[in-house]
Structure 1
Amino acid sequence: MTTTATDPARIIGVGTAVPANSYSQQEILDIFAVRDPRVRSLFLNSAIERRYLTLPPEGPDGSRVMEVQGELLAKHKAQAVDMGVRAVQACLKEAGADLADIGYVCCVTTTGFLTPGLSALVIRELGIDPHTSRLDVVGMGCNAGLNALNAVNGWARANPGRLALMVCAEACSAAYVFDGTMRTSVVNSLFGDGSAAVALVAGETAGVGVGAHDGARVPGGAGAPGEAPAAEGPQLLKFSSYIITDAIDAMRYDWDDEQERFSFFLDPHVPYVVGAHAELVVDRLLDGTGLRRSDIDHWLVHSGGKKVIDAVGVNLGLTRHDLRHTTSVLRDYGNLSSGSFLFSYQRLLEEQVAQPGDHGVLMTMGPGSTIETALARW
């Protein structure tokens, strides 16, 4: 069937990856011999049970050796490439696609700086066609997954039938400062390491592979040459963004002269600021669609932290059931930054409850302060 640039893009695959080692909050407190009752309370009342992390190495006395900034950047590079590659492989397997099908790669990260970007390293590591178009989104924070997905969606729609890939790879343990202060402890109690990849194809058939004009294979399953099978993933119908400029310093990286490394800052009022504006951006997303919030069947909200989730839920009138994947991802992984919402999306797929015609809202929040949303339809 003929496709055009106006056809919606559809998600046809998702994959995730984490480091080898996970720790309970109590185990982390024990490893770093944290005795401060205020810090312990942060960890133990976070609604997080376990996180996957790459902790500093042990010294001769068994204590953890504090890494310098250069070592943290090296950790970020190693972990982001390793997790990113495994997430891509899992994503392609679910989509029924091969590396040769990829026409576009967008990599997202905030937990370290690389030149060349992560996309170049992932392309080299996997042996993806070096002619593949690519983009790196760096430093946007937890909201960046939907910022980038909007760009990937645009490429997919402009190149119907070709596979576009987004990879979020966040080695949050490469951005920690262990100085015992409440400021750094808030961050240390919350974030985990993880990567998520998602594959998009635009067009009514949502599945003709890269180079379909010359008879290339079809991602998504078997089919006649040049004819794509029907895809079951949701179409991305619309995106909406809002940046709360009055709170631009509420989430940020600062250089810490005393520690000689970057340190992430989270304003304690962030949950309430984000929650207070959630209704505004969601209503704008649904404006003109004929849908109300009560018509949304699935909510996939960033696992930003217990207070953030509660604030968004209250302001949007969402139930615990609506936010079950958001809270379970926070419980099992912590805040995974830009890729968190895709871990929730994967859990929704595993439930096998989404039906044709269902609508879903994807929401991420992060520095700016920013709220990003997308409307999807199965």
Structure 2
Amino acid sequence: MSTGHHEMPFAPMIAAVGTALPPHYATQEETCAGLRRLWAGKGDALALVERVQRSIEVRGRHLAMPVEAYHAASTFAEQNRRWNACALELGERACRAALERAGLLPEDIDQIVFVSVTGISAPSLDARLVNRLGFRRDVKRTPIFGLGCVAGVAGVARVTDTLRAFPAHTSLLLSVELCSLTLQRDDTSAANVIAAQLFADGAAAVVARGAQAARKSGRAGGAAVLATHAVFYPDTEHIMGWDVVDSGFRVVLSAGVPALVREHVRRDVDAFLARHGLSRRDVRHWIVHTGGPKVLEAVAETLELPGDALDRSWRSLREIGNVSSASVLFVLRDFLDEPCARPGDHGVMMAFGPGFCSEMALLRW
């Protein structure tokens, strides 16, 4: 498969990305003060809070609730009710922002893909948004749960794969993650202490158009999705995910993630690019999920990237934390909004998640 200009008319296009953040904001100092109050008297946990704060790089995060509200005991059912209420509001805002940026209306959307790993509902959130925003009665809905952080890129891949079959259609990908609502108050494990300072809340929506729909619109801008690729690493289920317990979702987060990235990612990226006649030298833009400092360092090291290649990922991590599946879409929005890409530039969008797995998308401006 060539990625020359002659192929661009047949590739789906990312037209716009809209984002939304909840109104409550806590600096990392405020978060850590809250954790110290929560785990007062538990010396090992308090020492770990301090060590993580020094290394996590996050300066502050937007949260579904005020910091002090997280101290109250809460059942899984109560947490999930909060998730449903906040996710609906954030999801609506992100969808409206993406549609406005794309110059479209809800009735222009043919398909909605909804991803989340921090709450559950049936009917799923996308069904409630059909009523709230006025999508068409024949809109196709695909809710996806369980992909975690990788779902931002996986969602773009699934949406654009469908648009290759339906080039006259327009699709909407919505990611809503409220990671703070999964806080386990009695869990002082390293994984929970890290998650409490790394993961954050927010929503992102992507409008993607099939080749015919994009040509018909006549709107300039955006990026073509030339190809996508998924990699599953066998026997790594223990690396990342949830243990579902009576009090909700208890995080599983192994220290082995950066090592897996170093072991596999260069080979996988090189093979993906080679199939399309490219190498890493041909890629000007790297849109990488903000998995945390050690993950970003591992990506930069194993791919031998220039020093500034992941600047937007680092900036997003510092300003809003890791918003799970939405994180890479926040970074994508910055690439689309800022005048950094020129026509003809190639980019690779990449994320990792439970499985353990990675997903990639090859973009061209």
Task: Give matches, 1:25-44, under 5 Å.
Answer: 25-32=28-35, 33=37, 36-44=46-54
The CA deviation at 1:256 is: 3.5
Give the percent of matched residue pairs that are identical in Structure 1 and Structure 2.
33
Of 290, 303, 311, 2:277 maps to: 290
One of 250, 264, 274 as aligned partner of 1:263: 250
Map of 1:239 onto structure 2: 228
Q: 1:341 pairs with 328, 337, 344, which one? A: 328
Aligned partners of 1:132 and 1:54: how far apart in 2? Answer: 29
**What is the Cα deviation at residue 108 of structure 1?**
0.4
Instruction: String of CA shifts for 1:345-374, please: whole Å, max 9, x gaps.
Output: 111223212111000000011111111101
Hey, what's the Cα distance between the residues in 2 that align with 1:132 and 1:112?
23
The whole-number CA distance in structure 2 between the counterparts of 1:66 and 1:7 is: 53
Q: CA deviation at 1:255?
A: 2.8
The unaligned stretches of length 5 or more in structure 1 are: 209-227
- 1:54-65 equivalent positions in 2, closer than 5 A: 54-55=64-65, 58=68, 64-65=71-72
357-366 vs 286-295, which moves further: 286-295
2:16 aligned to which of 13, 16, 40? 13
- AA in 2 matched with 1:54: A
Residue 128 of structure 1: how far off its partner (Å) = 1.3
SS where residue 252 of structure 1 aligns?
A: strand
Verify: 1:315 aligned to 2:291, yes or no: no
Q: Partners of 2:82 and 2:180 in 1: how far apart? A: 8
State the TM-score, normalizing by the size of structure 2: 0.91
C-alpha displacement of 1:195: 0.7
Aligned to 2:75: 68
1: CA distance, partners of 2:281 / 2:106: 40
Q: Are 1:200 and 2:240 counterparts?
A: no
Question: Quick one: distance in 1 between partners of 2:166 and 2:236?
Answer: 37
Q: Does the 8 Å contact 2:117/2:148 carry over to 1?
A: yes
Look up the SS of the partner of 1:206 in the other structure.
helix
SS of 1:349's equivalent? helix
For 1:290 and 1:58, how far apart are their aligned partners in 2?
A: 53
Q: Which has the higher contact order (CA 8 A, sep 6+)?
A: 2
Which residue of the other structure, out of 152, 170, 173, is the alignment partner of 2:177? 170
CA distance in 2, matches of 1:104, 1:168: 14
Alignment of 1:325-364 (within 5 A): 325-364=312-351
Aligned pair 1:140/2:147, yes or no?
yes
Which amino acid letter does the alignment assign opposite residue 308 of structure 2? H
Q: Which amino acid aligns with 2:210?
A: A
TM-score by length of structure 1 reads: 0.88
Is the contact made by 2:191 and 2:252 (CA closer than 8 Å) also made in structure 1?
yes
Aligned to 2:104, the other structure's residue is in SS state coil
Residue 225 of structure 1 is matched in structure 2 by none
Unaligned runs of 5+ in 2: 1-6, 41-45
Matched to 2:329, the amino acid is L
Higher share in helix: 2
User: What are the superposed Cα offsets for residues 149-175 of structure 1, whole Å, 9 maximum, x if unpaired?
Assistant: 222112222222321110011111121
Aligned residue pairs: how many?
Answer: 350
Asked if the contact 1:206/1:231 (under 8 Å) is kept, the reply is no
Q: Which amino acid aligns with 2:298?
A: A
Code of the aligned partner of 1:93: E
Map of 2:194 onto structure 1? 186
CA distance in 2, matches of 1:21, 1:56: 6
Cα deviation for residue 207 of structure 1 reads 4.9
